[in-house]
């Protein structure tokens, strides 16, 4: 029995050669097919140097299970999602470590119709089977097919989300971070050009390169944002877009190079959908909510709260039939994209919104920032996160209007709110504070919670 620590809560991740290697990848392929009774499986991979050998070993395990492997090659995670749904496969696997360090790799897995894999009932069973190696006897008849042409269908799905005639001339700087966004973006850009879209693009760090010569693509980290911001200003772009390694998340910069926090993009997209589809439901996570709740109410929609994480957001969207779901971490989910997240659709929708309103991205979010300022996520490394959380609850709960325990704890007061949650993997708690029209109140809230947490600071 081999302990496979690369199995995490929702996916597979680990250090190459330590937690994950080709032999383990083959086991994962065998376990995936046996647990799901899969006969057709989509496989894609990112551009990391370890992704090709891991994908080949994974496919070896799939073929030994007698399945038809639909190999889409170098592709983003959302291309795997789309191909799994579009090709009516029984499941899909993307070999990727997204924004993790360069010595890591992993896999993202879905079932038929690109549905999430249940963490306990399914992924846990796969882990036990992969660890034991108690597989069914190898089956002949496995076949591998080149399915890379499915990108054309993916592109048509992506561009169907916008009305080309609503677009106005814009210069958009795009930073692929040397991940796999570049080729997919080029295909989308070509389709837009063929439709007469008046968009001009400036590309940077565009070619996939698994050595990541410009650093690991993770634009959510503040230290990684200046390179895109500077380029936006240097090229006089109307907007900047940057992706993580497997481009299931995209991040926005206005014309001044200012980073636009995810909760405001969530609000923009919710408003755009509700303008076209009044009364629809919008799913959101509990970390930062005031702007979203206000936007959805103004748009005549219904806000639906979900636990953080793609498995929970997708499940809630499928349960409710919600047209759109979003997280402040820049994951955006779409009903007409098999309820999956995409990093390519959001920037198109924002460009369309800029065209419809004639407003800049800065103008679109300025009012929302003023009405509902937020702190951004602040991390605290602590000696005892559980005790620290209890201390914060004891200090603030007596005065709170509501206390909710979805994803840590969310405490709401008359004019402000905060969410505090512990990391699942390290001794860290994450704080988000927001307020109604009062940035000073946000600062006061951060200072107050910080003072309580300081008693538990790690040495």
CATH 3.30.310.50 domain position(s) in the chain: 378-456
Instruction: Read off the pLDDT of each residue in 97-124 and give the average, rounded to a whole number.
Output: 95
Which H/E stretch holds residue 373? none
The answer to whether 132 is a known catalytic residue is no
User: Which residue in 98, 306, 342, 375 is the catalytic one?
Assistant: 98
CATH superfamily of 12-150: Alpha-D-Glucose-1,6-Bisphosphate, subunit A, domain 3 (3.40.120.10)
- At 426 the pLDDT is 80
Contacts of 444 (CB under 8 A, 6+ apart): none
Q: Pseudo-torsion of CA 285, 82, 125, 121, nearest 10°?
A: 40
Q: Where are the alpha helices (DSSP H) in 105-225?
A: 124-132, 151-159, 181-194
Residues 247/276, Cβ–Cβ less than 8 Å: no
Residue 459 has pLDDT above 70, yes or no: no
Residue with tokens 């639909």: 70
For 261-341, give the CATH class: alpha beta
Tokens of 203: 């590309």
CATH 3.40.120.10 domain position(s) in the chain: 12-150, 168-257, 261-341
Q: In DSSP terms, which residues pair with 411 in a beta bridge?
A: 403, 418
pLDDT tens-digit series, residues 304-340:
999 999 999 999 999 999 999 999 999 999 999 999 9
Residues 309/108, Cβ–Cβ less than 8 Å: no
Q: Look at the chain and count its residues.
A: 459
pLDDT tens-digit series, residues 398-456:
999 999 999 999 999 999 999 999 987 788 999 999 999 999 999 999 999 999 999 99
Which H/E stretch holds residue 303? strand 302-305
For the segment(s) 378-456, the CATH number from 3.40.50.360, 3.30.310.50, 3.65.10.10, 3.40.50.970 is: 3.30.310.50
- At 423 the pLDDT is 85
Considering just the CA atoms, what is the radius of gyration of the chain in Å? 22
DSSP one-letter code for 135: P
Residue 245 has pLDDT above 70, yes or no: yes
Sign of CA dihedral 210, 23, 124, 339: positive
- At 458 the pLDDT is 78
Residues 402/393, Cβ–Cβ less than 8 Å: no
Domain 168-257 falls under CATH 3.30.830.10 = no
66: left (phi over 0), alpha (psi -120 to 50) or beta: left
The whole-chain average pLDDT of the chain stands at 96
């Amino acid at each position: 029995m081999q302990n496979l620590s690369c199995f995490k809560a929702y996916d597979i991740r680990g250090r190459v050669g330590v937690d994950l290697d080709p032999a383990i990848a083959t086991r994962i392929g065998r376990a995936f097919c046996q647990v799901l009774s899969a006969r057709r499986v989509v496989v894609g991979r990112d551009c990391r140097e370890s992704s090709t050998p891991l994908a080949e070993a994974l496919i070896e395990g799939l073929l030994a299970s007698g399945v038809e492997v639909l190999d889409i090659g170098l592709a983003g995670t959302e291309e795997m999602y789309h191909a799994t749904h579009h090709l009516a496969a029984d499941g899909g696997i993307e070999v990727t470590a997204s924004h993790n360090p360069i010595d890591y790799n992993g896999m993202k897995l879905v079932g038929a119709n690109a549905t999430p894999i249940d963490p306990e009932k399914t992924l846990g069973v796969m882990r036990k089977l992969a660890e034991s190696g108690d597989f069914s006897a190898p089956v002949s008849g496995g076949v591998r097919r080149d399915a890379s042409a499915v990108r054309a269908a993916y592109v048509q799905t992506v561009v169907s989300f916008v009305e080309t005639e609503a677009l106005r001339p814009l210069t958009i700087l795009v930073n692929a971070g040397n991940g796999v966004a570049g080729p997919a973006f080029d295909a989308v850009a070509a389709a837009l050009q063929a439709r007469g879209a008046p968009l001009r693009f400036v590309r940077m760090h565009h070619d996939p390169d698994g050595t990541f010569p410009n650093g690991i693509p993770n634009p959510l980290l503040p230290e990684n944002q200046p390179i895109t911001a500077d380029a936006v200003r240097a090229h006089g772009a109307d907007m900047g877009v940057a992706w993580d390694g497997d481009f299931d998340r995209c991040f926005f910069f206005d014309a001044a190079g200012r980073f636009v926090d995810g909760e405001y993009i969530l609000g923009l997209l919710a408003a755009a959908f509700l303008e076209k589809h009044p009364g629809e439901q919008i799913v959101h996570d509990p970390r930062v909510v005031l702007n979203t709740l206000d936007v959805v109410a103004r748009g005549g929609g219904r806000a639906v709260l979900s636990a953080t994480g793609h498995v929970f957001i997708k499940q809630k969207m499928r349960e409710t039939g919600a047209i759109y779901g979003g997280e402040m971490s820049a994951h955006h989910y779409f009903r007409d994209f098999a309820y999956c997240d995409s990093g390519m659709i959001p920037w198109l929708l924002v460009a369309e919104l800029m065209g419809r309103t004639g407003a800049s991205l800065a103008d679109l979010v300025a009012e929302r920032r003023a009405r509902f300022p937020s702190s951004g996520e602040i991390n605290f490394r602590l000696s005892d996160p559980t005790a620290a959380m209890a201390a914060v609850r004891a200090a603030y709960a007596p005065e709170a209007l509501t206390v909710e325990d979805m994803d840590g704890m969310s405490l709401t007061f008359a004019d402000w709110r905060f969410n505090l949650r512990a990391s699942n993997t390290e001794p860290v708690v994450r704080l988000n504070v927001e307020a109604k029209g009062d940035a000073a109140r946000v600062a006061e809230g951060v200072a107050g919670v910080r003072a309580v947490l300081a008693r538990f600071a790690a040495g």
